[in-house]
A and B are shown apart, each in its own frame.
Chain A
Amino acid sequence: MFARTTALAIATLAAFDDAAAQTVNQPPDTMAARVEACTPCHGNQGEGTSDVYFPRLAGKPAGYLYNQLLAFKNGRRKYPPMNYLLEFLPDPYLQQMADYFADQHPPLPPVTASDASKEVLQHGQSLVSRGDPQRQIPACGSCHGPTLTGMEPGIPGLLGLRPSYISAQLGAWRYGTRTAKAPDCMQQVAARLTEEDVTAVAAWLASRPAPVNIAPAPKGTYVLPFACGSEPD
């Protein structure tokens, strides 16, 4: 009897010891540790890296980031290394990843001098702030906001992105490799842009200095010119 209880006690102690040892020898129970698979490409705080095609994530609206993660998971937006990583992750977890990067606020990168000509930059500025009514191109700012910092929950800001990334994304919409929730308003916009338009808006956007407040406007601050599936009313 005695021997049995002692044995049991020792066994329990050992089990306890095991459990303690396990919690010590565990990765930190944080989102930062869980997104270490993302940070070599997106930066430790989602600030971006030197690769011009790897976008900044920090501070973008959480709803927008979540929509992108869903789009990659389900193949509506294609970049095989990311499609692969996200394939078997549950949606609530993707929401947490989105929240995590939306909450990071590293400074925007310094603006790099543009090698685009003055005419090109002017054309870009005009499309972004006024659009081209004749070609039915709405001003980018009518959706992305007067200060181009976007709006909660689904419209991203357009500052702090590099020209190659912007061109690649507009191209992806035109070729159908990036699609957003229907109605895909960005697709309708991108379809009306020519190669020259794309180069011009990309160059001008990338030449903008960071505004004082880069936070996206609250939901419903302004009305969109037409409906976007990513931004339900």
Chain B
Amino acid sequence: MRSWSRLLALGLLLFTGPSAEAQPKLGPDGDSLVARGEYLARAGDCIACHTAPEGRIFAGGRAMPTPFGTLYSSNITSDRDTGIGKWTAEDFYKAMHYGRFPDGGLMYPAMPFASYTKVTRTDTDAIFAYLKSIPPVNQRNREHDLRFPYSNRQLILGWRTLYFSEGEFKPDPTKSAEWNRGAYLVEGLGHCGMCHSPINALGGTSQSEAFKGGLIPMQNWYAPSLTSNREAGLGDWSIKDITDLLQTGVSMRGVVYGPMAEVVHNSLQYLNDEDTRAMAVYLKSIAEPSPPPPASSRLPTAESSLLISLGKTVYDKHCANCHGTQGEGKPPHWPPLANNQSIEMQSAVNPIRMVLNGGYPPGTKGNPMPYGMPPFAGLLSDNEIAAVVSYIRTAWGNRGTPVSAREANELRSAPLN
């Protein structure tokens, strides 16, 4: 409530304030502003949502399925009729900071303004200058296709009251400049929280329960906690392993896949060494030690031990060649499975999907020709999938729990794109 009234007050100020249209400057200075904007737009991964497959860059139209219907991203090229060519730098800051259109209308939180609100005015000006330098594309925005009542933008007010608190990043004076830079990137432009926190930005109050634990709706991938060392908390990772993971997609400890592969591919691989290191320092610091997981399996013991012994047979035949008989892998390209926290988590969604769908880590500058894993959906039965996943979650000292054939079966229909 408080932040809401503050927001209104600020909004009024902005409407009456002097118009400060920041035209991209020309000459070397202008170039560097545009170049900085391009870099920051990478950090914010604007391109991923605002460019359709094989579409023109930033012309929008990418479909984003949500539990409430499909949203289509906007044209943010400099086209005056269909893009943001008529916007001022002020308008743009308002969109990023308050999630509001120039006429004051409310944006759907699928545009991650809840994170971008932390971005400084200097940085939004640079991004704006960069977007202005993109050739205009005349392409009308596609209407969102949302079910009633979600098509009513007034509902966003409720969401904002619950989940949105406006405000630029405030450095913590007790921490190093590097840590603060990392925090600024992770909490702001990186919008990592959009997937990695239990309250999903696409959800409303009634749905939020269902998203607990960071299961991304519609996509059926689990975005692990970044603070718990039992999940993707990086407390006991070396800084080098973290920067490798973020920059190249592979590391000695594990690899990225699914939606996280997209984040590395479109965004993180472009960050410079200093910024990547800053993010790593920050990520390592927010990992809090957590108690060992409740090693409680929902399966009867007899069933588990049957599954696990079948699992070993499947593993030795289909997986050991790459991941090693002791789960040691050949890292970073064939990731280790022993002591790999991403398969031991309470939620077994990710390892099950990994076995069903296989995958390649993203091709990046640091790893342009990644090695891949075949999909096993067509080769193994539900029971065999459950068995091998149960095996890798419990063998070699891993502390996960067995999974059932039903869980494996349910994920067969998870969407692949």
| Interface set of A (CB-CB < 8 Å, partner B) | 25-27, 33-41, 51, 74-76, 80-81, 83-90, 92-93, 96
Contact = CB atoms under 8 A, between A and B. Distances in A.
Contact of B374 (A33, A38, A75, A80): A38
A37 B322 CA distance: 11
B375 A81 contact: yes
8 closest A-B pairs by beta carbon, nearest first, are A37-B372, A88-B362, A90-B363, A80-B416, A84-B416, A88-B265, A74-B54, A40-B374
Contact of B333 (A27, A35, A86): A27
B371 A33 contact: yes
B330 interface: yes
Nearest to A78: B417
A52 B369 CA distance: 30
Contacts of A86: 360
Interface in B337-361: 357-361
B178 interface: no
Given A34-B371, A80-B416, A25 B330 contact: yes
A87 B417 contact: yes
Contact of B359 (A34, A83, A84, A93): A84
Contacts of A25: 330
A130 B265 CA distance: 49
Contact of A85 (B262, B322, B375, B379): B375
A41 B375 CA distance: 9
B7 interface: no
Contact of A75 (B53, B358, B368): B53
B93 interface: no
Contact of B357 (A34, A40, A84, A89): A84
Nearest to A86: B360
Interface in B310-334: 322, 330, 333-334
Nearest to B249: A88
A36 B372 contact: yes
Given A27-B322, A75-B53, A76-B54, A83 B416 contact: yes
A92 B417 CA distance: 22
B47 interface: no
Contacts of B368: 90, 92-93
A44 B192 CA distance: 39
Given A76-B54, A88-B363, A27 B417 contact: no
B260 to A, nearest CB: 11
B49 interface: no
Nearest to A26: B330
B403 interface: no
A154 to B, nearest CB: 18
A90 B379 CA distance: 28
Given A37-B374, A81-B358, 7 more contacts: A27-B334, A75-B53, A85-B375, A87-B261, A88-B265, A90-B368, A93-B368
A80 B54 contact: no
Contacts of A36: 322, 371-372, 374
B417 A40 contact: no
B322 A80 contact: no
Contacts of A26: 330, 333
Contacts of B333: 26-27
A60 to B, nearest CB: 20
Contacts of B363: 88-90, 93
13 contacts: A34-B372, A36-B372, A38-B372, A41-B378, A81-B358, A85-B358, A85-B359, A85-B375, A88-B362, A89-B360, A89-B370, A90-B363, A93-B369
A160 B241 CA distance: 47
